[in-house]
Amino acid sequence: MSNGPFRTFRMVLFTAGLVGLLSAQTPTSAEAGKQPNIFWIYIEDMNPFLGCYGDDTVPTPNMDRLSENGVLFEKCFAPAPVCSPTRSALITGRMQTTIGVHNHNSAYNKGTPIFLPDYLQGNTLPELFQQNGYETFNQGKDHYNFTYDRTKLYTMQKVEKNLMAPWRELENKDKPWFGQLLLWGGKEAFYEDITGLNDEDRLPLAEAAKTLPPYYPQDEMMLKYWAMHYDCIKLTDTRVGEIMENLKADGLLENTIVILFSDHGCYMPRHKQFCYEGGLHVPLIISAPKAYEKQPDGTRRPDLVSAIDISATSLAYAGIEIPEWYDGQDVFAEGFKHDYLVSAKDRMDFTIDRIRTIRTPEGMKYIRNFMVDRPWMQLNYRHVRDYMIHMQELFDAGQLSEAEARLFGDYRPAEELYDLNKDPHEINNLAHDPAHRKQLVALRAQLDNWIKETDDKGQYPEDEANLRYTYERWGDEKCINPEYDRFRPAVADKK
């Protein structure tokens, strides 16, 4: 496949050792004319704090078993630290910043709809599957940042009863299917009435303290919410087990590729909506039956993978040609390798921001903050959460350490540089360290080149009508950024 325009990721020859693991020669049922089902278990707001990822804080036997019967990717990263840009990227196969669907919740404004480029019209991922004989469904949410006709994307629109086995309600059961099933994941924490966990099932705070990152104060409030995320993971694992049992009961395990992943990290500050590891590092497990196996069960992949690769890999499993303009690639293709990965943060609901990050396979990570006059912790949906109120009170009282207080400062540096091998929590910014000057300059230039080559749409002001809609939706109290000033009554009346 030739490189398309604005190729996000450059492909080079992979190491001989990894190529040796790839069993592309294995004949698949798709090659014999029988296409497999492709099933995404799409989890919300969950970091890879799983047993199979080396974290045994809570038992995760079902996801561990899935990894034992598949391939685990240790370094998979989301294209954005929030759901709608990530979902938009995966469903189109393109980096959200390249096609202008990068601002969170930007599809709600029906007055100025956002349309996909012409080459993507009729060619979203589920439509590509349909063109090749597949039924399609999405049990959960779409949350795409563009205008679309859902009836064209999914052949089954609604699941009535089989929430944990939506394939049972497909009208045509003789055709293969591409399906997505959403699990609440980390969001279970805010639905305590439906979690199904008794008090004795919850993680003790003393156990949560063992993994609490250094950017949170070690007190009861923060431990409570950190423990709740582990409780969510434990419950999610139970749901994964139920789904897999349903596939087994229906005789589908031998003809279904299961791909389990999360859209971004957990709900805590410095995770979701942040371009740190807590916001971008996600689990990715691909489990295929023997007839479709491309690497031995139990394989652990240490190479860089973008969540956008999931889309291309899904097409490849079905024997469908990957479009030339796809940014993601088949993770099992010979020569697969990312020289670097880029992730992006833009407007989050009413909070206007722009951050880009680029990482290398060697573990160096560069972050560029374009709006340095704004604190990391701008006003956002979290400010009503008791843990955020608590941290703000501690900050105001001068009771936070430097690492804990960083999010509440009045400004942020233009550049950040971290050695993730030595500093996985991204505490020590090396951007001004002379010893790392060469790496800083190289990554800075690499990001500049990426912005230019991909025509990163975040560099342009957002459409005024969309901004106005956002302002009218959220109001003065939340729309505090200066970009909204033109819409405030006191300003508008003077014009």
pLDDT in tens, 341-359: 999 999 999 999 999 999 9
Same domain, 278 and 329: yes
Look at phi and psi of residue 108 and say left if phi exceeds 0, alpha if psi is from -120 to 50, else beta.
alpha
Of 489 and 151, the structure prediction assigns the larger pLDDT to 151
Asked if the structure places residue 347 within a domain, the reply is no
Distances (CA, A) of 466 to 106, 452, 456: 7, 24, 18
Tokens in use for 72?
Answer: 């685990």
Asked if the structure places residue 7 within a domain, the reply is no
Q: What is the pLDDT of residues 207-244, one digit of tens each?
A: 999 999 999 999 999 999 999 999 999 999 999 999 99
Same domain, 297 and 167: yes
Q: Which of 274, 303, 338 is the last residue of a domain?
A: 338
Same domain, 102 and 250: yes
Q: Which domain, by its residues, includes 488?
A: 463-495
Same domain, 109 and 52: yes
Q: What is the mean pLDDT of residues 391-399?
A: 93
Query: What value, to the nearest 5°, has the Cα angle with vertex 382 and ends 377 and 388?
Result: 75
Asked if the structure places residue 6 within a domain, the reply is no
Q: Is the pLDDT of residue 204 over 50?
A: yes
- Pairwise CA distance, residues 73 & 384, whole Å: 35
Q: What is the pLDDT of residue 111?
A: 67
Distances (CA, A) of 145 to 93, 375, 462: 14, 26, 13
Return all residues near 376 (Cβ < 8 A) that are at least 6 apart.
274, 406, 407, 408, 409, 412
Q: What is the pLDDT of residues 253-277, one digit of tens each?
A: 999 999 999 999 999 999 999 999 9
Same domain, 451 and 470: no
Q: What is the mean pLDDT of residues 22-32?
A: 40
Which residue type sits at 394? L
When pLDDT is cut at 50, 70 and 90, the band that residue 383 belongs to is confident
Same domain, 264 and 254: yes
Q: Is the pLDDT of residue 282 over 80?
A: yes
Same domain, 83 and 171: yes
pTM for this one?
0.91
Q: What is the pLDDT of residue 178?
A: 99
Pick from 108-122, 188-202, 448-462 the range whose average pLDDT is largest: 448-462
Judged by average pLDDT, the poorest of 11-20, 128-137, 362-371 is 11-20
Q: Which long-range contacts (CB under 8 A, 24 or more apart) does 147-153 make?
A: 147/107, 147/113, 147/114, 147/115, 148/116, 148/124, 152/122, 152/127, 153/91, 153/124, 153/126, 153/127
Same domain, 196 and 208: yes
Asked if the structure places residue 29 within a domain, the reply is no
- Average confidence score pLDDT of the chain: 90
When pLDDT is cut at 50, 70 and 90, the band that residue 24 belongs to is very low
- Pairwise CA distance, residues 238 & 349, whole Å: 32
- Pairwise CA distance, residues 429 & 423, whole Å: 9
Minimal CA–CA distance to 311: which of 133, 478, 79?
Answer: 79
CATH (domain of 157): 3.40.720.10
Asked if the structure places residue 304 within a domain, the reply is yes
Same domain, 87 and 129: yes
Q: What is the pLDDT of residue 490?
A: 60
Asked if the structure places residue 359 within a domain, the reply is yes
Q: Which of 338, 369, 399 is the last residue of a domain?
A: 338
Asked if the structure places residue 346 within a domain, the reply is no
Of 343 and 389, the structure prediction assigns the larger pLDDT to 343
Order of strands, sheet of 341-345, starting from the edge strand that comes earlier in the sequence: 341-345, 355-359, 364-369, 415-419
Minimal CA–CA distance to 333: which of 24, 12, 79, 8?
Answer: 24
Return all residues near 66 (Cβ < 8 A) that are at least 6 apart.
52, 240, 244, 258, 260, 285, 287
Q: Which of 278, 309, 338 is the last residue of a domain?
A: 338
3-state helix, strand, coil in the chain (%, to 5): 35, 15, 50
Q: What is the pLDDT of residue 196?
A: 62
Asked if the structure places residue 5 within a domain, the reply is no
Return all residues near 425 (Cβ < 8 A) that are at least 6 apart.
213, 214, 215, 277, 403
Our count of domains for the chain comes to 3
Q: What is the pLDDT of residues 417-468, one digit of tens each?
A: 999 999 999 999 999 999 999 999 999 999 999 999 999 999 999 988 889 9
Tokens in use for 269?
Answer: 């500050």
Same domain, 162 and 62: yes
Same domain, 403 and 470: no
- Pairwise CA distance, residues 97 & 89, whole Å: 9
Query: What value, to the nearest 5°, has the Cα angle with vertex 252 and ends 250 and 257?
Result: 145
Q: What is the pLDDT of residue 7?
A: 34
Q: Is the pLDDT of residue 11 over 50?
A: no
Same domain, 195 and 119: yes
Q: Is the pLDDT of residue 290 over 90?
A: yes
